[in-house]
Amino acid sequence: MKIYFNGKLVDKQDAKVSVFDHGFLYGDGAFEGIRSYNSRVFRLKEHIDRLYETMHTLMIDPRLTKKEMIEAVVSTLKANKIKDGYIRLIVSRGDGDLGLDPRKCFGKPNVIVIADKITLYPAELYQKGMEIITVPTVKNHPNALNPQLKSLNYLNNILAKIEASHNGYNEAIMLQENGYVGECTGDNVFLYKNGVLSTPHLGRLKGITADAILELAKSMKIKVFEGYITRHEVYNATECFLTGTAAELIPIVKVDGRVIGEGKPGAVTSKLLNAFHSLVKKDGVKYDV
């Protein structure tokens, strides 16, 4: 495996960062999870735009243009001869001292691209649907750590994932501090009922896959609602599914012990999943292996 590391493609065992890197010490950095399908990187430009928005807020200068960052992703895929894969793009603050102050990071940010495979959930769950729960850990307040920041500090999500795992579930809903539904530990939440597809607007990461699903729904003349959603609405939805780069689109058939709809993946969920599979074949940056 070849890893892109600060402008060079190096062997996996040589891709190392210092223990003084603030990404390691404090989770100070940004990342993106990206997918490629049949030698086409799905919505790479949108991923790069989101990465640069996070870095702008964190005041990290990667010393690369967006075009150069795109080239780094593509070159890593080519070097590993990956047509269908998962890309992890990381930009850490870089080396500094043991204090918090980013101004004392004397090195430049580390830019790393890893191209590999990923399987988030068992294949059977995409056919039968998945059961999830709501966990006690709530989403960070947006004035503390805005959910739009895809930073290297994912402890909020990890704590919620631990709660889900200890209760025997693969995924869990996290509420906002005001009690409304935010998102899952790694996925966005969608509900369908009475011809309307709903998803939380605030308190969640603006997902690339989620945006694609919303666009597909609108093209199918399905009404879309983005706003406040309660667990009562989740329990009484006709259909429910989650979206994410790694998860793609996975149906949910039970939440907190309440059966959703008929307890199996719904027709609208299946229709959107098929449309998404068609979309990834033509939307994105094409490359040759």
Q: What's the rounded Cα separation, in Å, for the pair 192 and 238?
A: 6
**Residue 208 contacts residue 43 (beta carbons within 8 Å):** yes
Burial class (CB in 10 A: 0-12, 13-18, 19+), 167: exposed
Phi, psi of 70 (to 5 degrees): -60, -45
Residue 242 bridge partners (DSSP): 189, 250
CA angle 100, 101, 103 (to 5 degrees): 150
**Residue 131 contacts residue 250 (beta carbons within 8 Å):** no
Q: What's the rounded Cα separation, in Å, for the pair 196 and 199?
A: 10
Segments in 80-227 forming alpha helices (H): 123-128, 155-166, 208-219
Residues carrying an active site annotation: 150
